[in-house]
């Protein structure tokens, strides 16, 4: 029973810290675009790389 006097306030503090971290990340734009980066990986890149000056052509 005495352990509850320590565990309940500790768990409340942990919940408030987790909420603060979540809302800080949300305000910072962390969750703005969750779909775009995943779709960019699937897009085919048809551009050819140009060699740097002084490098031979492939």
pLDDT tens-place string over residues 26-35: 888 888 887 8
- Residue 57 confidence class, pLDDT cut points 50, 70, 90: low
DSSP string, the chain: -TTHHHHHHHHHHHHHHHHHHHHHHHHTTTTS-SSHHHHHHHS---PPPPPPTTSPP-
As given in the structure block, the two tokens for residue 17 are: 């810290």
More confident residue, 16 or 58: 16
Over 80: is that where the pLDDT of 19 sits?
yes
Q: How far apart are CA 30 and CA 23, in angstroms?
A: 10
- pTM greater than the 0.85 cutoff: no
The radius of gyration of the chain's CA atoms, rounded to the nearest angstrom, is 25
């Amino acid at each position: 029973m005495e352990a509850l006097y320590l565990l309940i306030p500790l768990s409340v503090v942990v919940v408030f810290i987790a909420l603060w971290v979540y809302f800080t990340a949300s305000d910072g734009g962390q969750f703005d675009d969750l779909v775009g980066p995943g779709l960019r990986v699937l897009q085919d890149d048809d551009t050819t790389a140009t060699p740097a000056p002084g490098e031979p052509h492939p």
